Amino acid sequence: MMEDYIAAYSQPQDRVLAWIEKQTHLRTNHARMLCGPVEGKLLEMISGMISPRRILEIGVFTGYSSICLARGLKEGGMLDALELNDELEDLIREAYRRADLEDRIRLYIGDAKEIIPGLDPEAYDLVFIDANKREYTRYYDLVWDKVRPGGYILADNVLWNGKVFSEHAPADAQTRGIMEFNERVRNDPRVENVILPLRDGLNMIRKKFPSE
């Protein structure tokens, strides 16, 4: 399979990420939600290219993507990580500790829709959305004023197992949420974007400067 070939010829995950992957399988019922080595490396490289001072992550799960993103932070930078499920907190904090990133990631446990409005405006160079698919458009609207002009929003799972382009798209709320989000981004003149067909699809969105 193409995905197996890509994984075989991409840099493998390190011991910390391998530990998170193993613990995710042992301690959760939704290990498929893990972004995995290939997408994780892509996130790390995108973050490294941008060299962000501030990152916002919406949907932490077990901390894999947090660590990948935080590794690209500018010296002295900070990642604000938002996770709804408080049962994952101990695992997440242990992952950050093992990655030696405790001082570069702030974990918030709670509803992102309630937390985001209290965050500083135009504070973030990079936002990663990987939470409730029904709420993607809502997250997009909430973070808009938090992203500096020229900053990036990355949204995961935007192909949603092919359901979004199926001839008979399912009527479930998660699929509708992703389809609505993709449509919103495509029609938003304030941004430019491209969808990368890696794993379950990553929408890479750049917030334009007002003069563009």
Question: Per-residue confidence at 167, pLDDT binned at 50, 70, 90?
Answer: confident
| Two tokens, residue 159 | 């192909």
Contact status, residue 78 vs residue 104, Cβ threshold 8 Å: yes
**Is a pLDDT exceeding 70 seen at residue 150?**
yes
pLDDT at 170: 72
Question: Per-residue confidence at 144, pLDDT binned at 50, 70, 90?
Answer: very high
Residue 151's H or E segment, with its range, is strand 147-156
Average pLDDT estimate for 16-38 = 92
Average pLDDT, the chain: 95
Closest C-alpha among 48, 42, 86 to residue 64: 42
In tens, the pLDDT along 122-134 reads: 999 999 999 999 9
Question: Per-residue confidence at 31, pLDDT binned at 50, 70, 90?
Answer: confident
Average pLDDT estimate for 79-98 = 97
CA dihedral in degrees (73, 31, 86, 114; nearest 10)?
A: 60
pLDDT at 8: 94
118-122 long-range Cβ contacts below 8 angstroms, 24+ apart: 119/56, 119/80, 119/146, 120/146, 121/145, 121/146, 122/146, 122/147, 122/148, 122/149
CA distance 186 to 8: 33
pLDDT at 169: 64
Q: Which domains does the chain have, with CATH numbers?
A: 2-207 (3.40.50.150)
Say what the pTM is.
0.96
Percentage with pLDDT > 70 across the chain: 100
**Is a pLDDT exceeding 80 seen at residue 138?**
yes
**Is a pLDDT exceeding 70 seen at residue 38?**
yes
In tens, the pLDDT along 57-73 reads: 999 999 999 999 999 99
